[in-house]
Structure 1
Amino acid sequence: MEMREWSVVAGSFAGFQLLFSIVCPLLSRALAPGYSRLAPGKHTEWNSRLVSTIHALIVGLFCLYILWFDDAVNADPVWGDPRLVKLNVAITCGYLLYDLLLLACNWSSMGDSFFVCHHLAALYAYGYVLSRGVLPYFANFRLISELSTPFVNQRWFFEVLSYPRSGNLVVANGVAMTVAFFLVRIAVIPSYYSKVVATVGTPAFTRLGLGPQVAWILSSVCLDVLNSIWMYKIGRGLYKVLANVVRKGEGGRPEKQNHLSCSHVNNHLD
């Protein structure tokens, strides 16, 4: 890994820590009156989710730029010029390290072994991108999934502020969350794996060696199995909420409402 990547990782780690400790509390107190009424433990998770949203927007939008305009990466998905992708991955690695430290410091309230495994696996896979510059197209493609994270976090903000789940804003965000999740995590699966199939067995693929090959294929399959399970639960939750809204509109008695998605989705999508 070159000094530039190390500098970006370190700068990203420090920047997200600064956002969490200073910027997010100030912004939240100014823009969200309900923030000050939350319990201290909720402040920690609120700030962490706001940082998560900022990271997701930075990385996700950068991914779209690379996908649309980086001809070198699109022309050679395995060994194309990785400079922009390495920059984006380094930002994400800094964020993952910050988040691991946050989890360790708040393990009693936020600790989750699944989350730790996810972060460590991601750091392992991204390490190949940063150290060897391999698979830039595929690394960039995976990071597009971050664009669904702001809607998941916004759902938590509404919930902790006690917004009614049948309220217009909550339902609208639930629909947007479901659509965004489907578009960036599910609808892209055929395109992604068609590129994978076209790459496997080529000389470029062989040059990777066993380590990067296993890390790439195994992590991709595991993530997409999880994404498919989460998509089902999100869709099922949204259906129940919309059905309840329609029932209320028709004058019927609303059923006890469920979350738009399971707690694991709310905690793990970042």
Structure 2
Amino acid sequence: MGRTLRTVGTLKAYQNQAGVLVKNYVLADPYIPYTSIVLGILTCKLAYDLSQIISTFYSRNYNALTKIQRTEWNNRGISTLHAVFISIMSLYFVFWSELFSDKNHSGLVTFRNSSISTLALGLSVGYFLSDLAMICWRYPSLGGPEYLLHHSLAAVAVAYAMYMGEGQLYTFMILISEVTTPWINIRWYLDVSGLKRSSAYIINGVIIFFSWLVARILLFGYMFYHVYLHHNQVMRMHTAGSLLVFVVPVALAIMNLMWFGKILKGLKKNLLKKT
């Protein structure tokens, strides 16, 4: 009994020490950007390995794929995990958190940030760096020049907002667009699984159309309107920050419109086949 109590006490002591270490170093403000990026990269590696292991044992379709298709399968598992996480965090900070609310008068909205918002952005930077590395490693199998441009712009903008603490609200507005990523990945999974003519494929196409319209078209319009209303605050940012607020969203919006045209064309084609 005494040995058990001593063991429990020792475990609690280690837990307390670990908690202090995490609080004072890992999650201390000066270290959050670095630890969050590393944590994001490690999480991506873990997600890739888990996708490979689980799919090998539980998916017949996975084992029938080519080597590069299996790589893309696992890579899309990473992007789905990141998309779910960052979409939830972005929706919270943009629409529910008081941090960026106009009712909050504690400083300019363009300079507001917190440990949690910085941590979330750092994890996202870790993902974009990991995905960029994967795209370059398997180029052009996992994506062509447009993917390199998209991920590079996103990584630079998110990293700047994380390190400098500027424009985080607009960064989260843009990152809400990741809500469309899981549906894009599901479409690819259905395609390689031989279900391109199924009802699930058609339903997925409709969901992609509306989610893209809301998250990547209308929401971008809302962001541009918000920038217009807070133009004076945006111009008080560093020059690099102001440029990123204006240039990156415009470039991404153009790409989103181009992809939306392809989505609309594909949806029409599939619906006509059903009729």
Same fold (TM over 0.5): yes
Query: Which consecutive unaligned segments of at least 5 residues does structure 2 have?
Result: 1-28, 103-107
Q: Deviations over 1:204-247 (max 9, x none)?
A: 3232122111111011111111111211221121012112101x
Residues 111 and 139 (structure 1), Cα distance of their counterparts in 2 relative to 1, 3 Å cut? closer
Please identify, of 103-112 and 46-55, the stretch whose mean Cα deviation from structure 2 is larger. Answer: 103-112
1:17-166 matched pairs, under 5 angstroms: 17-20=45-48, 22-75=49-102, 76-107=108-139, 109-110=141-142, 112-163=144-195, 165-166=196-197
Q: Which residue of 2 aligns with 1:217?
A: 246
Distance 2:114 2:209 in 1: 32
State how far apart, in whole Å, the 2-side matches of 1:221 and 1:24 are.
Answer: 34
State the match for 2:225 in structure 1: 194
- Normalising by structure 2, report the TM-score: 0.82
Aligned residue pair count: 242
Q: TM-score of the superposition, structure 1-length normalised? A: 0.84
Are positions 1:185 and 2:213 aligned together? no
Contact 1:77-1:138 at 8 Å conserved across structures:
no
- CA separation of 1:111 and 1:9: change in aligned 2, threshold 3 A: same
Give a deviation string over 1:121-154, Cα, whole Å, max 9, x none: 2222223212210111101100000000011111
Contact 1:66 1:84 in 2 (8 A): no
Q: Partner of 1:107: helix, strand, or coil?
A: coil
Question: Please, which runs of 5 or more residues in structure 1 have no aligned partner?
Answer: 247-270
Alpha-carbon distance in 2 for matches of 1:111, 1:176: 23
Identity of aligned residues (%): 23
Find the residue that maps to 2:43 and give its secondary structure.
helix
Distance across 2 between alignment mates of 1:136 and 1:31: 40
**How many angstroms apart in 2 are the aligned matches of 1:115 and 1:191?**
24
Q: Which has the larger Rg?
A: 2
**Matching of residue 174 in structure 1 with residue 205 in structure 2:** yes
